[in-house]
């Protein structure tokens, strides 16, 4: 589905990522861990066409998409939910969802996707005419995820979805992501909330200083001393 091999990427001439190789299969939720500055967001942005790829390859659905424009990637179904959500705050909830559906050409498809996101997040139906900027943080994250779903993604990239959310609200977001994944949509999720993602993902990668330093199934990483020390606390069981 999504394959990254020996990726070197960054901004302009500044290299942030070095020899990154990861894979997201059709049936997987993949977690991406790392402290602030480790390169998680840069990797998500490089995959999304928003950071410069200097070497290596990004392939999506068997096609080489390295340095392809963000618009072209969205048209192929590779859609990012950015850190901080980046909604259009003065526009209504409905208008934000309509913007996410700009690739949908028929009323039937639009209504079908809208019904799906309203089923997933009923509060968005109730808040349809409300300005997005007046929503709570949790409701804004729901809207950001729903807006991405309106584009009929074939793979979702989530960057720090827990940012600014209470634990209970983040659990609601993760439950929604599980339901989305059950519809056959693979997910790459960059997060600092390692405890939750280790219970949630099928496979995980740990970044440090722009490189993959650990990878494996959650059960194996839970026992890694490096993960416990840096992300779970040295005394974690």
Tell which of 152, 171, 200 closes a domain.
152
The alpha carbon of 97 is separated from its chain's Cα centroid by a whole number of angstroms, namely 18
Domain boundary among 136, 152, 168: 152
Domain boundary among 152, 180, 197: 152
Nearest CA-CA partner of 38 in 160, 155, 203, 156: 160
Based on the domain organization, do 71 and 159 belong to the same domain?
Answer: yes
Q: What is the dihedral of CA 178, 183, 184, 188, to 10 degrees?
A: -30
User: Residues 94-142: pLDDT tens digits?
Assistant: 999 998 888 887 888 899 999 999 999 999 999 999 999 999 999 999 9
Identify the burial level of 130 via C-beta atoms within 10 angstroms of its C-beta, where 0-12 means exposed, 13-18 middle and 19 or more buried.
Answer: middle
Tell me the pLDDT tens digit for each residue of 155-212. 999 999 988 888 899 999 999 999 999 999 999 999 888 888 888 899 999 998 999 9
Rounded-to-integer distance, Cα 67 and Cα 110, Å: 30
Residues 164 and 220 in one domain: yes
Q: Is 199 exposed, middle or buried (0-12, 13-18, 19+ CB in 10 A)?
A: exposed
Q: How many CB atoms lie within 10 A of CB 237?
A: 6
Quote the CA–CA distance of 170 and 128 in Å, as a whole number: 22
Query: Does any domain span residue 83?
Result: no
Name the residue range of residue 124's domain.
88-152
Cβ-contact 191, 179 below 8 angstroms: no
Name the phi and psi angles at 62, rounded to 5: 85, -5
């Amino acid at each position: 589905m999504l394959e990254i091999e020996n990726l070197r990427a960054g901004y302009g001439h500044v290299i942030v990522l070095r020899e990154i190789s990861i894979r997201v299969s059709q049936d997987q939720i993949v977690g991406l861990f790392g402290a602030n500055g480790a390169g998680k967001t840069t990797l998500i942005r490089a995959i999304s066409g928003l950071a410069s790829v200097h070497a290596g390859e990004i392939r999506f659905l068997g096609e080489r998409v390295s340095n392809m424009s963000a618009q072209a990637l969205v048209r192929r179904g590779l859609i990012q939910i950015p850190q901080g959500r980046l909604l259009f705050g003065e526009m209504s909830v409905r208008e934000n969802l309509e913007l996410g559906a700009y690739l949908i050409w028929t009323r039937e498809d639009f209504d079908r996707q809208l019904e799906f996101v309203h089923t997933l997040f009923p509060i968005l139906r109730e808040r349809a005419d409300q300005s997005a900027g007046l929503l709570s943080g949790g409701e804004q994250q729901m809207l950001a995820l729903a807006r991405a779903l309106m584009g009929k993604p074939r793979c979702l990239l989530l960057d720090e979805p827990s940012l600014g959310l209470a634990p209970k609200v983040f659990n609601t977001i993760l439950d929604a992501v599980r339901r989305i994944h059950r519809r056959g949509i693979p997910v790459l999720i960059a997060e600092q909330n390692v405890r939750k993602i280790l219970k949630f993902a099928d496979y995980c990668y740990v970044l440090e200083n722009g490189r993959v330093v650990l990878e494996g199934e959650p059960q194996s990483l839970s026992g890694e001393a490096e993960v416990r020390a840096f992300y779970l606390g040295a005394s974690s069981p």
